[in-house]
Structure 1
Amino acid sequence: MKAPRFTRTAHIGGLLACALLALTAYVVVDNWGDAWTTPATPATSQAPNTASHAQPQSAQIERGQYLARAGNCVACHSARGSAPMAGGRRIDTPFGAVYSSNLTPDTHTGIGRWSPEDFWRALHHGRSQDGRLLTPAFPYNHTSVITRADSDDLLAWLQSLAPVNQPTPAHTLMWPLGTQPALAIWRSLFFSPTPFKPDPAQTADWNRGAYLVQGLGHCAACHSPRNALGASGAVDDLSGGLMPVVNWYAPDLTSDHETGLATSALSSIVQLLRTGESAQAQTSGPMAEVVQHGTQYMSEADLLAMAVYLKSRAQKAAATAAPPKPPLQAKVSLAVAAKGLQIYDRHCAQCHGEQGQGIATAAGATAYPALAGNRAVLLSDPTNLVQMVLYGGYGPATALHPRPFGMPPAVLELDDRDIAAVLTHLRTQWGNQASDVTPLQVNRIRAAQGH
């Protein structure tokens, strides 16, 4: 005899309710359970080459300032025209805008009432003092790598700043993405704290570099692909990707074809991180900001450690990579080729040379980079080239390279066909072999920036 239909329906409904209750309990425990199970003061761990935080307060503050610079904290936590670290900077995401927090020691709008445990919990678990889940625009997957010692030093420096009473504007994320339940589900899907664990098979420099790249440097926040829900790769994923909203391509740091890290001298990598330019490359776009506010202030030892780690990762990838595919042979019409040459001669040759050889300063530094053999020119994704031609820009002004030469914007002077033609010229001349750039590609990038 069959059970009545309403009985089967009730049974299924009961199972679904139990499953939903179990899922809710899991998400709650996953996001807040540590507050009930961990001691009030987490055990102190040490990063490679990190001294104990039991030191005079002035030394702790100085170290905290160094760590904040290494993490480029000022770039996000300082709005234009406001005091440094007072927050309020608008950070656009594909889902709406997020505003950075006030990290000055103001007791009403900042972190003046935060304890070292509160601050460490924010870095390690992505939760505010009151237990509120923070949005992943704050890269807490990377800050969870940071040790308790470094967390305490960072807080010591922040608490030494002048307090600034500046409330953080409300986020404007599309509903329900900014709600606590939605954030909790997202975190259960994509976030788990990853405290740093040194690799005993590697050198001290390699481990120090890994700690800086994966943690404070949060390099994978840009140099890894993001999925449809905005989650980036693991903290050590450096496989490159298109940065949403800002529309810059962050190259694959494990690919020698895209970055040359596997074959570059360590001194050249250090120079690029310290000054923003080397004989092989120049920084621009978001990376220029990283050098401007962050890496130029780092010690020689730490920059060398980062270079050792990055070069090792690139060499390991090169050893297992498939043989490179033959370069694409662009099919360029005579009309496009003539237009590209004409625009190059008129707008580019004076700085980059008739043969794309670039120009050096009297001191031997790069004034205008060579375009012949330039990896940035040869990237399969031409996004960065289009961005540079449209909007121009300067490299970072650093202590060892205080007056970088710049490039004027052409957004109002050249149309999509002009830009496509001149970039196709760059990618097919002087031995360069890359695909052509189409007006449609240029138009999409221009439209994404609202121009």
Structure 2
Amino acid sequence: MKRKSLFALSAVVVVAAAALVPVLWSGGDNLHNGTAMAATPADQAALIKKGEYLARAGDCIACHTVRGGKQFAGGLPMLTPFGTMFTPNITPDDQYGIGKWTQDDFYRAMHTGRSKDGSLLYPGFPFTSYTKVTRADSDAIYAYLRSVTPVNVASRPHELKFPFNQRNMLIGWRTLFFREGEYKADPTKSVEWNRGAYLIEGLGHCGMCHTSINAMGGPVSSAAFAGGLIPLQNWYAPSLTSNKEAGLGDWETKDIADLLKTGVSNRGAVFGPMAEVVHNSLQYMSDEDINAMATYLKTIPQKSEAPEPLQLETSEKFGGELLKQGQKIYADNCAKCHAENGLGMPPSFPPLANNQSIQMPSAVNPIRMVLNGGYPPSTDANPHPYGMPPFAQALSNTEVAAVVTYIRMSWGNHGTAVSPQQVSDLRSAPLD
């Protein structure tokens, strides 16, 4: 991670948790495999607390809560290449929520991607990752969701194009892209490494953003964690396997942990969708779990090249003109925070010199930051983050292209010039 240098880690989960698990509870007693189990109030309270923590780890609130709406009441629109999905109500309401689901129903949804009635869930809900979650953790999340306030609001039906609105077609997709099964620990690795792998590959579902998808909406498994553009969100989730982007091979484990926990580190800060992940999810995780995730991420093999995105190119002469123009724009607007030499003042103002996320083949993230600005997440460890103002109203498309070209090609950076047309295409892109 849903999502790395200045813009690294800037994506991981918003598309990832796009939809949609109806989650569950049956009635008064605890149930496990249909058998009633006695539980003291203290036991139940501890289980609910554990479930709340795990639901934070899975960032359930991000997709199942509309900004300003009731918690977990669903209704968030999720744009996909195949139409619009709407996340369901997962409060314990008997009529519209998950009030009549059992623990078994919930585990089946998490583990197999099937709803209470056996129908197939769309893979916008990350069951391909959640299948790795243990039964005990699934039951804890279930207990927590059963404890939240019921909301009597109907879930909005999806608006998908034909033939994608035919759920039976998911059988073929599942055959190609889904492998059911709980996480199996690697006995050759440490307990900490395995815990990190379990969280990253399971509840964290980081690969859903940091792995490219094909025309069928399936992950390109040969390029796992190698980065990709998040469909219709116009943010690029950097590669974690290539040091040309956000590869973590030369990062200190502490810097990775700081970025995950607080949103800032000496190596950079998170913005965009990844800032939401830190704000909603990662800042609440224990230091032990954050360090475990960082330990695992540090060991992802640094060998795969990031996929080459389609990029509009400028001529060498025009690129030189943009570079010269960008130098003045940078001095007037950027140097006060990021310094004339591009070294910034980390962690408040990230360095731009030798920043891999600035130099990636995809220039989407730096263009969006110049246009729209942004803040790292506000976290307990960094409650008042420094942010970047938007320049969309102050700079023309050519001026934005010029200053982004300058920071991508200065101080030893090896990025390429960007086109004003790229800026124009992203100027009207959604902010979330």
Cα deviation, residue 388, structure 1: 0.9
Alpha-carbon separation, structure 2, partners of 1:291 and 1:330: 39
Cα deviation, residue 130, structure 1: 1.3
Rate the CA distance shift 1:359–1:41 in 2: closer, same or farther, 3 A.
same
% identical aligned pairs: 44
Q: Does 1:159 align with 2:149?
A: no
* Comparing 426-435 and 205-214, the one that deviates more: 426-435
Which of these residues, 321, 329, 332, is aligned with residue 335 of structure 1? 321
Which of these residues, 359, 364, 375, is aligned with residue 394 of structure 1? 375
Q: Does 1:404 align with 2:385?
A: yes
8 Å CA contact retained: 1:79, 1:87: yes
Q: Gaps spanning 5+ residues in structure 2: where?
A: 1-31, 36-40, 307-313
Which of these residues, 174, 180, 184, is aligned with residue 161 of structure 2? 174
Alpha-carbon separation, structure 2, partners of 1:290 and 1:223: 14
Cα deviation, residue 142, structure 1: 0.6
Counterpart residue number, 1:32:
none
Counterpart residue number, 2:9:
none
Which of these residues, 355, 361, 364, is aligned with residue 341 of structure 2? 355
Secondary structure of residue in 1 paired with 2:264: coil
Q: Deviations over 1:45-83 (max 9, x none)?
A: xxxxxxxxx981111101000000011111011011211
Q: State the structure with bigger RCO (CA 8 A, min sep 6), 1 or 2.
A: 2
Alpha-carbon separation, structure 2, partners of 1:330 and 1:283: 32
Counterpart residue number, 1:145:
132
Secondary structure of residue in 1 paired with 2:146: helix
1:184 alignment partner AA: I
Which of these residues, 321, 327, 332, is aligned with residue 346 of structure 1? 332
Q: Does 1:286 align with 2:278?
A: no
* Comparing 277-286 and 193-202, the one that deviates more: 193-202
Alpha-carbon separation, structure 1, partners of 2:349 and 2:219: 33
Counterpart residue number, 2:5:
none
Rate the CA distance shift 1:430–1:321 in 2: closer, same or farther, 3 A.
closer
Cα deviation, residue 124, structure 1: 0.9
Which of these residues, 96, 121, 126, is aligned with residue 109 of structure 1? 96
Rate the CA distance shift 1:42–1:358 in 2: closer, same or farther, 3 A.
farther
Q: Does 1:300 align with 2:287?
A: yes
1:300 alignment partner AA: D
Q: Does 1:428 align with 2:409?
A: yes
Secondary structure of residue in 2 paired with 1:98: strand
Q: Deviations over 1:157-189 (max 9, x none)?
A: 000111111111111111220222223332233
Alpha-carbon separation, structure 2, partners of 1:270 and 1:148: 28
* Structure with the largest fraction of helix: 1
8 Å CA contact retained: 1:141, 1:235: no
Alpha-carbon separation, structure 1, partners of 2:57 and 2:122: 22
8 Å CA contact retained: 1:420, 1:439: yes
Secondary structure of residue in 2 paired with 1:158: helix
Rate the CA distance shift 1:358–1:197 in 2: closer, same or farther, 3 A.
same
Matches within 5 A, 1:255-294: 255-294=242-281
* Comparing 108-117 and 228-237, the one that deviates more: 228-237
1:418 alignment partner AA: E
RMSD across aligned C-alpha pairs, in angstroms?
A: 2.5
Cα deviation, residue 330, structure 1: 9.2
Counterpart residue number, 1:14:
none
1:367 alignment partner AA: S
TM-score in terms of structure 2 length: 0.84
8 Å CA contact retained: 1:387, 1:445: yes
Which of these residues, 33, 45, 50, is aligned with residue 41 of structure 1? 33
8 Å CA contact retained: 1:104, 1:164: yes
Alpha-carbon separation, structure 1, partners of 2:358 and 2:232: 22
Rate the CA distance shift 1:82–1:447 in 2: closer, same or farther, 3 A.
closer
* Comparing 252-261 and 205-214, the one that deviates more: 252-261
Rate the CA distance shift 1:234–1:102 in 2: closer, same or farther, 3 A.
farther
Rate the CA distance shift 1:184–1:394 in 2: closer, same or farther, 3 A.
same
Q: Gaps spanning 5+ residues in structure 1: where?
A: 1-39, 44-53, 323-328, 361-365
2:363 alignment partner AA: P
Rate the CA distance shift 1:390–1:335 in 2: closer, same or farther, 3 A.
same
